[in-house]
Each structure stands twice: as C-alpha cells, then as structure tokens.
Structure 1
Amino acid sequence: MPLDIVEFSKQIGVSTATVSRAFSGRGRISDKTRERVLEEARARGFSPNVHASRLNSKRTNQIGLYYSFSEDPIFDYYNMELAQEIAKAAEKRGQAVHLELSRTGKGENQRLRQLTGGGGLDGIILVVDGRTSGARLIESVQGCPVVVVTNRPWAPIKKEIVVELDIFSGMADAVRDLASLGHKRIGFIGGTGITAKVNGFRRILGDCQVAVDPKLIAEGSVSFSDGQKAFHQVASQRPSAVLCATDVLAMGALNEANAMGLNVPGDISIVGMDDLAFTAYTTPSLSTIGIPRSQIAKTAVDSIISQLDDEESESPRALAKHVIGSYYVQRASVGISTGA
C-alpha cells in the first residue's frame, strides 16, 4: 500500500507542511532540508498527490524565461548557458521553465500578456539588454511576479525585483592584473550598445594610471569574424594587451593573432569576458572575466518564490534588488609585457 503524506512525514521525522514545501517549492525551507525530503521520498517510493495539491494551490509551478533581445537568444553562447542554469535552479525549487523565443517587435508585448495574463505562470524572469526594451516588457506583464536580470544599473519601474550584474568588478581585476604585469597599452574590442562598458574601461584604466588611447578601442563587433577584423585593426596600433567584451570576440582575436604571426601571450595578451565553457580549452587557454551564472539563476528563481511567499505572508521579506559581482580568471593567454 503506497505511503500517504502523514505516514511518510512520521517516518522521516518532519511535519507534513515541510514535506509539502519540499515538493511544491512553496514556503520557506532550507535547500538541505528539501534535498533530504526528496531523497527520502525516492528511497521509500513516496509520491505526493500532485493533482490534489494543485487543486488547493493557485500556483502552477511554471516560471517563464523571456529575453528582450535577439530573435534567437538561446543560440548565443552566454544566454544558452544562463538558460541552462535557470532551468537547473528552477528544478531544485520544484518549478519548470517555459522558455520563450520570439521575434522582437510590437508583437512581443501581446505575446507576453498572453503568457502572464492567463494565470499559467507563477512568475517571469526577463533578461534585458536595455531599459527601453525592458520597460516595454514589464508593462506587458499581467498579474505575476517579475524578476529583471540585467548587466546595467536599473531603477525599478513597477514592483519588479532586479538581479543586476556588476561587470566592472571583474573588468577592474583584469586591468589591474595586466597593469601589474607591465602592460601600458591596453586595447578594447567591444560589441554593440556597449557605451557603459567602454566608459567603464576608460575609467578603470585611469584608476590604474594607464593612458587611454582611442585608437586602441574598436566597437560594434559581435561574431568570431568581427573579433578577427577588430583585433587586426587594434593590433596595428601595437598594444601589449587587448580586453574583449565577449569570449566569442576574444576567440576571433586569438585566431587573428595566430594568422598575423603574433605569439599569445609572448607578443600580446588577450582577455575575454563571460567565462564560457570552452574558454579553458582554447590554445592558449583564455583568460576571461567570469560571470557567476549559477548564482544569478538561483537568485532570480529564489526571488520569484520569495515574492509568491510574501503574497501569502503578513511579513514580506523579498529584497527589491540584488547586485552580483563578476570575477577575473587568469589563464595562459595573459603574460608579462615585453614591450616598452
């Protein structure tokens, strides 16, 4: 005869409420306790009556994940890895992720209203690249918690919770490391819409007492081939090191350096940004600015659950903003400057 929740709770020494929280992702329960309950359930063959629990709850155990940029953001390496981490974090909280890939434009407002207005989602995570597009999406969300994930300073528009990445902490560590190795001419290869990154790079160079040379800054690059072209342009100005706004651009720079007969890091050092899975396996292995995607994902998912809990609680505790720092990973593509 299968176990019911009362008997199962007695056997493992916890309350029925704790078991319900472990399976539903609702309420305040530690990760350690949740994992213990789920492990005991697997070992004893216990499965809750999911249908009955859903009848007694307004929650759907579905979280939406929506990107405000690119027609196919999942095929961008960084966004693909971030989506995977969000899915893993959601699973640990008993949630499934609904990933929305749609064309940008006027139609996405209507699509987002449809997703959130019908009560099919417990909350939605919006990964945004700018305030204009992000604000438009937030205005379209109907009746569910919203978490905004962004790499730019963000002042709340409604009641959304913000998970903000501080990319400049990792950039500063990278530039300080390059300066300590004697690099005096440091270039920058950037993507599109990266004014904040370029300004931050200039400021960090100043803090490290390294001169800013506009000829060493190339913007508007996105792909591997863009990285190659931009590196060729910047390398003609004889920098001793180059910082790239993405690992994809840095891969293009590594390839072009090899084509130009430049030794990395003997002749020039190269640093990427994102710490994608493949960067440890390039030749040479790529130094990069790491982004703690698992921490971002966990914070975003936990924030949705916290908002749901607060709606059912008389003492709200959800934080309105979380700032997560980046970090520098030094690998073989960075070395001592041999230039003047």
Structure 2
Amino acid sequence: MATMKDVARIAQVSTSTVSHVFNQTRFVSEDIAKRVNNAAQELNYAPSALARSLKMKCTKTLGMLVTTSTNPFFGEVLKGVERRCYEKGYNLILCNTEGDSERMKASINTLLQKRVDGLMLMCSTLEGEEIEIFSRYPELPIVVMDWGPMAYASDKIQDNSYKGGYLATQYLIDRGHKEIGCVTGPLHRNQAISRFNGFKQALTDNHIAINQDWIAEGNFECDGGFNAYQTFKRRSLAQGSSLPTALFACNDMMAMGLINAASQDGLHIPNDISVIGYDDIQLAKYITPSLTTIHQPKHQLGKTAVDTLLARLNEPKSPQQIVQLEPTLVARHSVKVI
C-alpha cells in the first residue's frame, strides 16, 4: 500500500509539501500540486481521513440526533440537512432516539466518540431534560432545531409556531367559521403550546369564545387526530350539542387522522366539518380532499441548521443566534366558506 513518502518520492517533493497539498494548509504552486496529485493517482494513494482529522482536529463530520416518528416532517427536514452537508463537503452521522432516553444517551456518546465537529439536536426527548453529558464537552458546537430542547443554551433554529397557529385560526374565521375547535399537540412541548396560544389569541382578537369541549390534546401522530374526533363526538352526544364547524389540527398527521375518523362517521370534509393542518408535509396535497395547512419551510430549516453550525465552527466565540423561520398558509380544499 502506497504511503505519503512514496508520493513525495515520485513527485520529488518533501512529505510536508504532500501534506500541505492534501490538507490545503499552506499555499503550494499549481505545478507542484499537479505533480503531487498525479503521483497520488499513479500510486492509487488516498490520504487517511483519520490521520488528517487527528492532525487538523477536524473530522468534517457532523452529528444529528433526531426523534423517530412516522411523521414525514422529520424526513423532509433531514433531506435539507443531508443536501447542505453534501454541498459543504461534510459527512453526516444520524442517530434516532425512538423516544427512548437510554438510547438517546447512548447515541450522544456514540456521536462524541466519533469525534463529530458539531451536533444538531432535533430531539423532543431532550425537552425538559438535564443534558448533563454536554456539560463535559463545553467546546462542542451545538445547534438546537425545532422539536429540540429550546431551553438549552445554544444556537437555535425554530418555527414561529405562535404565528402559524394564529394564521390557521384566522383563516377559518375569515371563511365565516365561529364554532372552531383545536386538536393540540402534547402541551409539554414548545411547538404545541405556541400553536395553541396562537389559536386562542386569534379567537380572542375576533371576540369568539373558546369552547373547552372542542379542545383535545393529541400526540402529533395520526391516531391523535383520530382519537380527538372520537372525544369530540362523545362530548357532543353526552351534552346534546353539535360538533364545531371547523377544526385546527396542530400538525398534518393529526389532521389526516381526524379526517379519517370523520369520514368513517359519515361526515363529508369540508361540507360537514372543515379541517386545517400544520406543517405542509408532501402527503397533504394528495389526500382527499387536499389539506389546507400551514407551510413550514422544512428544507430551509435543515439548510439553516447546517449553515449555523458551520458558522459556529468558524467563529466559536460569536454571540448565540436564534433564527426564526416564518410559516405561510397554503389554501387547498379542506375548508369551506360559510
């Protein structure tokens, strides 16, 4: 197997010059660089990534910790992360926690052992957790993404969930709806609370009373929306009252579960009940009826997380950033005008 010394001998340069060519640590003339690269190609020599990383204290590898979910939202964000890593010449190591705290801690240890240059956290398991392990690595750059532990002191990329919840509710009101319910996410999570607060504020601003019978806490999964519909139906039957004319589901997965439950019950969307979701996952425009929803810039979220982490690597002493991405409304066919 060829070594750096072999490349230096054939190129008629020193081994330090060969190192500078491969690591780009010093200016080397175009002629010498060409001789070194030709010699390496002739010998089928590939520089050791491990040796380079030890010398430069940089592995060109980023780690990402993500909550596993059936929600395609995460995959769409991850696509943006992977694309940006590729564009910037970085490798990505992805670890799924599957909502398991022990697996989460093991994954963090694995990423640190792999000497990643920085970490991206998109792991709701970490919300409210004492992240003790990171205190042992104070120099490790960390970016917390939406669905991560927003209380953690680091650079943050987040969705303006409050604005998104307000936009969704105001859209229903503008279409004549006054009997409006909400399927929230788990209310110990930042996104769920913010979207629900936006919902309540829009009702308050339009002088519409909040009916607690039309509020149900979900889990950001399809069954959360399905079960929420059953809850609304039980309450209406018990009290001899009607269902709301419109529902805001705080993500698209719950909106789809809700539509499925209502359809099984013989209701037509949107003629009998209107539904608006949140996230604008790719599936949203292909269900029947296509889902009116709040668009999150998911690819941009992934790209911005990588760019923010690389900026932190370049300027470790710069002030911490909070980057807020703005949601927009996508009108389709699941909401009717009253």
Q: Does 1:294 find its partner at 2:307?
A: no
Give CA-to-partner distance per residue, 1:249-304, whole Å, 9 cap, x none. Answer: 11111112222222211221101111111100010000111111111111110111
Letter in 2 for 1:109: K
Which runs of 5 or more structure 1 residues have no equivalent in the other structure? 1-19, 25-47
Distance 2:262 2:133 in 1: 41
1:3 aligned residue: none
Determine if the alignment matches structure 1 residue 132 to structure 2 residue 128.
yes
Letter in structure 2 aligned against 1:139: S
Instruction: Tell me what 1:6 maps to.
Output: none
Give me the whole-angstrom Cα distance separating, in 1, the residues matched to 2:209 and 2:148.
Answer: 25
Q: Which residue in 1 is equivalent to 2:267?
A: 262
Deviation at 1:195, TM superposition (A): 4.0
Q: How high is the sequence identity, in percent, across the aligned residues?
A: 27
Alpha-carbon distance in 2 for matches of 1:140, 1:290: 38
Work out the CA distance in 2 between the residues paired with 1:147 and 1:195.
Answer: 22
Among 165, 169, 181, the residue aligned to 2:175: 181
Following TM superposition, by how much is the alpha carbon of 1:319 offset from its aligned partner in structure 2, in angstroms? 5.0
1:309 paired with 2:314, answer yes
Change (3 A) 1:74 1:212: closer
2:224 is matched with which residue?
A: 226
Aligned partner letter, 1:85: G
Contact 1:303-1:318 at 8 Å conserved across structures:
no
> Aligned in 2, Cα 1:231/1:93: closer, same or farther, shift over 3 Å?
same
SS in 2 for 1:125: strand
Shift of the alpha carbon at 1:93? 1.1
1:189-200 to structure 2, matched below 5 A, reads 189-193=183-187, 194-200=192-198
Structure 2 unmatched runs, 5+: 1-22, 26-44, 237-241
Task: Report the CA distance shift for 1:220/1:175 in structure 2 as closer, same or farther (over 3 A).
Answer: closer
| Cα distance, 1:107 vs structure 2 | 5.8
In structure 2, distance between residues paired with 1:97 and 1:202: 40
Give the TM-score taking structure 2 as reference length: 0.74
**C-alpha separation between the residues in 2 aligned to 1:127 and 1:133?**
14
Shift of 1:324: 1.4
Secondary structure of 2:335 counterpart: coil
Counterpart in the other structure of 1:112: 108
Alignment of 1:1-340 (within 5 A): 51=48, 54=52, 57-67=56-66, 69=67, 73=68, 75-102=70-97, 104-106=100-102, 108-109=104-105, 111-116=107-112, 118=113, 120-129=115-124, 131-133=127-129, 135-136=131-132, 138-139=134-135, 141=137, 143-150=139-146, 154-157=150-153, 160-193=154-187, 194-234=192-232, 236=236, 237-311=242-316, 320-337=321-338
* Residue pair 1:169, 1:327 contacting (<8 A) in 2 also: no
Q: Say whether the 8 Å CA contact 2:128–2:149 is kept in structure 1.
A: no
Cα displacement (A) at 1:225: 3.4
CA-to-aligned-CA distance 1:213-244 (integer Å, 9 cap, x gap): 10000113444333223123325442110011
How far the C-alpha of 1:125 sits from its partner, in A, is 0.1
SS at structure 1 position matched to 2:128: helix
RMSD between aligned residues:
3.1
